[in-house]
Structure 1
């Protein structure tokens, strides 16, 4: 990955576009942030205030340029994630498959992970989930800090078991988030400016909606692509309707996740991990934007799932790895084809997004069935082995027929 980064000016690697985001855009934001303000009038600034702390950190490393320090910190964070996954995988009932997936899956994105700060964001989510077995307070605090950097790590708290674990983690997250946000409000000007820019985003060409519009362009749709809000977006008739449909699908996904949580009756040690992956998958697939670095999030969460022998997400992890490999083909190698909406670009994005959509549906289905079926299976086992007392035995046939007590 480092070798590819050093040769990123080559044509197949995007003519230097991958690394340019660090030494040009991130370094520009660093200059603004170092003067105590967020880039309020920059349409490219679409991130919560915690992202400012991540972008300021490379400037604190002595003896290195901003770009070198950024890459060094990303490598250090990668090592931290790997060590945490490996340590979790050596415990009883665990496996090293998670560490293997992270180690082997991340390079599928070529040098992109070293030139984006999504590895740091993923670290908050991974460490939050792995801390759950030891401290629910630490789990909540890490999720809150991650959410202040890029929102989505808050979703890792969705699958915590009902009762005290949920209350403790969510209270810890609320307190940590409030204190950290207050610190940014006191220390910087315009900490919430990102909300204005985020709301103006359209349909990125790599999103699910973008794939539909790209295919429509082959059928005569009179739209085109334009660089705006930091991404190549589609503009033209019906784009606003597609964007609205994406938001509606996100709301539906959130409702499905809430319904799962209300109806779930059985938690295993892997259920919080599986629910986190399912939630982030659903929100990614229904988003108006699916940048290639989003795959880093999914790889990290899939790796956490695979640390547990109880996970239901092994087939989902395989689909995510396949989608990650296709993402690297689409960007940077064939990104010009994707932007021009040629058949090559359309088929690439159709395959990648098809894998992600399949993974999202499969993930939620397996999560839902596991939380219901295993309860019924355990009841059948107790009946057949005589572990029910006599009053419970008489009630068992009704429960097995599906009646609810």
Structure 2
């Protein structure tokens, strides 16, 4: 069993931390009152119908996992009209934003004390949250992203039941955290604490049992099976660039029910291929992460974040549907990953997230089809995501292939923390 490697410093947040926290949080709390709608009308309509007794996926179509609706209900109950719902739900998201920023500040201070590096995760995340505000506070993706961070930090602190509960709630809110469940199970099995993790997973999903008696919540999956090739996905960006260059004809930029999609024979072929690449790539990234556990388990929160980002990025960048808010899923873990190891891959994720904002300007013609310069910007954004994912999966692969002694070197771990404490090799699995 590996030894816990707690940080050598763990100061409390000081005055300047709280000043920075206030500066980081207040602008978004103010932006919550912006009348910009985003997806909020959809959230309001579904929550309002639910409060009036309608059954999701029976009386009206609900495209999200079931817990998503439960997050919409409080603001819809307090705000019976859309203009009142928008600031209430925005303030609810601002609370999750504040929690994430507090967590990044706290983890930075615990890891690096008063060193300037302690501020990096919070500072970079704060700037990215401001730049992404039109998606950050107008979609609900911030909620499952916060639960993923809770799970990563809880796993680092060996609070497996809490981690399992947070992962489970995240999965039933937005589905994508499911790619982290195999990693968590593998680590906890090696630790001998898998029972606590499973109990947490079950506790988080337990409300689905009574919901199933009146709500066919599983039907949300059918909506996503029917979706086309979303214009910002990797495959779509390459196809659109080829179309702009005159290499492929018959590609149409269409406003579909849930997003803008590429339609046509070529788009259909790319969609089918992309789905296979997405499934295989996500599974392969998760398998590499699990394989890297052979000689060393992640201990610190940043090590968990670097390990988790491989399959998370694969799930996002290879997906035939890549909406701009999906990058919210990545930047919290990327902030933690900046606490040690090579910074370029996590930093690339923040750059990619901020580039996404540039695609939604009047000059981009997003509603009709991206113009040439903005098509290049989209390709750069997707290239950064792909490169960052490859780098982090490669980092895990190098640990997988390393012997116990090599895997424990600071260079292999990508963590200066290894200079402070060096856990011994793990015993063989039972």
Whether 1:202 and 2:228 are equivalent positions in the alignment is yes
Distance 1:351 1:62, change over 3 A: closer
The match for 1:272 is 304
Shift of 1:166: 6.2
The match for 2:198 is 171
Shift of 1:84: 2.0
Segments of structure 2 that go 5 or more residues without pairing to the other structure are 1-26, 411-430
Match of 2:317 among 267, 270, 285: 285
Shift of 1:226: 1.6
Structural RMSD (CA): 2.7
Shift of 1:111: 3.1
Distance 1:339 1:156, change over 3 A: farther
Match of 2:151 among 128, 146, 157: 128
2:234–2:382 CA contact under 8 A, matched in 1: yes
What is the rounded CA distance, in whole Å, between the counterparts of 1:243 and 1:379 in structure 2?
42
2:33–2:86 CA contact under 8 A, matched in 1: no
The match for 2:260 is 232
The match for 1:38 is 56
What is the rounded CA distance, in whole Å, between the counterparts of 2:364 and 2:73 in structure 1?
30
Whether 1:73 and 2:87 are equivalent positions in the alignment is no
Q: SS of the residue aligned with 1:293?
A: helix
Distance 1:317 1:262, change over 3 A: closer
Distance 1:62 1:41, change over 3 A: closer
- TM-score (normalised: structure 1): 0.82
Shift of 1:57: 2.4
Q: SS of the residue aligned with 1:206?
A: coil
Give the alignment of 1:6-405 within 5 angstroms: 16=36, 19-22=37-40, 24-34=41-51, 35-40=53-58, 45-61=62-78, 65-92=84-111, 95-132=118-155, 133-160=157-184, 161=187, 162-164=189-191, 167-168=194-195, 170-186=197-213, 188-218=214-244, 219=246, 220-253=248-281, 254-264=283-293, 265-269=295-299, 270-306=302-338, 308-309=339-340, 312=341, 314-337=343-366, 339-373=368-402, 375-377=404-406
Which shifted more, 211-220 or 65-74?
211-220
What is the rounded CA distance, in whole Å, between the counterparts of 1:145 and 1:380 in structure 2?
36
Distance 1:62 1:244, change over 3 A: closer
Segments of structure 1 that go 5 or more residues without pairing to the other structure are 9-15, 382-405
1:130–1:304 CA contact under 8 A, matched in 2: no
2:183–2:290 CA contact under 8 A, matched in 1: yes
Shift of 1:370: 3.8
The Cα offsets for residues 11-52 of structure 1, whole Å up to 9 and x where unpaired, read as: xxxxx5xx2421x21111112222252145766x32111111
2:237–2:379 CA contact under 8 A, matched in 1: yes
1:102–1:300 CA contact under 8 A, matched in 2: yes
Shift of 1:239: 2.1
1:207–1:289 CA contact under 8 A, matched in 2: yes
1:339–1:345 CA contact under 8 A, matched in 2: no
The Cα offsets for residues 86-106 of structure 1, whole Å up to 9 and x where unpaired, read as: 222222567443223322221
1:145–1:176 CA contact under 8 A, matched in 2: no
Shift of 1:195: 1.3
Q: SS of the residue aligned with 1:38?
A: coil
Number of matched pairs: 366
The match for 1:399 is none
- TM-score (normalised: structure 2): 0.77
The match for 1:402 is none
Q: SS of the residue aligned with 2:39?
A: helix
What is the rounded CA distance, in whole Å, between the counterparts of 2:382 and 2:193 in structure 1?
33
1:49–1:191 CA contact under 8 A, matched in 2: yes
1:157–1:276 CA contact under 8 A, matched in 2: no
Shift of 1:61: 4.1
What is the rounded CA distance, in whole Å, between the counterparts of 1:26 and 1:334 in structure 2?
29
